[in-house]
């Protein structure tokens, strides 16, 4: 599942389902922390953040390459 921060991510994370979470830079919800990678709350939730100075087009191109792996 690919999602932004919603209750669905929490439900799936608690159920141990794989989720790729899209976050908007460091202004995303604080509960997910400030880093990319696995969440400390749910190990099956992988966080992806827009990097400083990175446009959304570049972010989604980077994301598509990461998700193919």
Order of strands, sheet of 19-23, starting from the edge strand that comes earlier in the sequence: 2-3, 19-23, 45-49, 37-38
Whole-prediction pTM: 0.82
Q: Cα 5 from chain centroid?
A: 8
Burial (CB count <10 Å: 0-12, 13-18, 19+), residue 19:
buried
pLDDT of residue 15: 96
What pLDDT digit, counting tens, does each position of 4-56 carry?
989 999 999 999 999 999 988 777 777 787 778 888 889 999 999 888 899 99
Give me the helices (H) in 1-69, please.
7-14, 56-68
């Amino acid at each position: 599942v690919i999602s932004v921060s919603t209750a669905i991510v929490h439900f799936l994370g608690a159920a141990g389902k794989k989720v790729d979470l899209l976050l908007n830079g460091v202004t995303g919800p604080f509960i997910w922390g400030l880093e990319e990678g696995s969440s400390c709350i749910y190990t099956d939730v992988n966080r992806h953040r827009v990097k400083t100075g990175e446009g959304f087009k570049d972010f989604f191109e980077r994301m598509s390459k990461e998700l193919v792996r």
